[in-house]
Amino acid sequence: MNAQGAFAVTLLQGRNNVKTNETGRTKYFYSVAGPTANLNTGANGFFAADTDFPLVTFEETQLILAEALLRISQNPKFIAALAALNQVRNYHQINAYQASGTAVYESYERIDFDAGQLLNPTGLPPEEALLKEVLTEKYLSLVGQIESFNDIRRAKTLAGSRNVIGVPSRNSNAPSIPQRLPIPQSEINTNANSNAEQLPGLFEPTPVNQ
């Protein structure tokens, strides 16, 4: 099963730093050899036929908490949000991905998100840099789950811009990344209540994500 061009592979391969080594997580989800990437369907891989599929997890809960703390109006709780992120990193360090290879997730510090520092090379406001890391971690913690798509189309930067983690568009002519799942033509053909001319487009945000 091919994962060629998967954005998660690109993210994982570019995330190693002095406090992080994503080798184990990469190998757990993907089999990567040179430019070729496939889903890891082996005995210890996430996509193996008998691997448990996560529905509600500690990581997702903590990362929802971290994002919520950063989005408190006029008073983002930076330190509390960072603590929630580090809870996930500590869980990874102890429990996850070690069987697949090297996995290092040291706790991040406040200074790591300052302009020009480890997780903020482009000089974003520290809260924005932390939000980007939280949503990136959530994206990678939920590989294979629909929530990753929901986050991509839902989440905005604190300043209001979409696509926080920078998922690239597959079509250079597309106005954005897709905002909806496509409605099958068979549904349009057989459902008398559907009106193809009135159906929203693939790139039109849902009302809750306007």
pLDDT tens-digit series, residues 82-129: 999 999 999 999 887 876 678 999 999 999 999 999 999 999 999 999
68 phi-psi bin (left φ>0, alpha ψ -120 to 50, beta other): alpha
201 SS3 class? coil
Half-sphere exposure of 3 (CA within 13 A, CB side): 21
Which among 110, 108, 114, 123 has a CA at the least distance from the CA of 79? 110
Question: How many CB atoms are located within 10 Å of the residue 60 CB?
Answer: 17
Judge if pTM exceeds 0.75.
yes
Q: What pLDDT, in 10s, does the model give residues 158-191?
A: 999 989 999 988 888 888 889 998 888 898 889 8
Helix (H/G/I), strand (E/B), else coil: 48: coil
Question: What token pair was written down for 200?
Answer: 């929203």
Distance CA 13, CA 3 (A): 14
Q: How confident is the model at residue 32 (pLDDT cuts 50, 70, 90)?
A: confident
For 152-196, the three-class secondary structure string (H helix, E strand, C coil) is: HHHCECCCCCECCCCCCCCCCCCCCCCCCCCCCHHHHHHCCCCCC
Tell me what pLDDT residue 209 has.
Answer: 86
Residue range 34-52, pLDDT digits in tens: 778 999 998 889 999 999 9
Domains and CATH numbers, the chain: 7-154 (1.20.120)
In eight-state DSSP terms, residue 117 is S
Cβ atoms of 183 and 203 within 8 Å: the answer is no
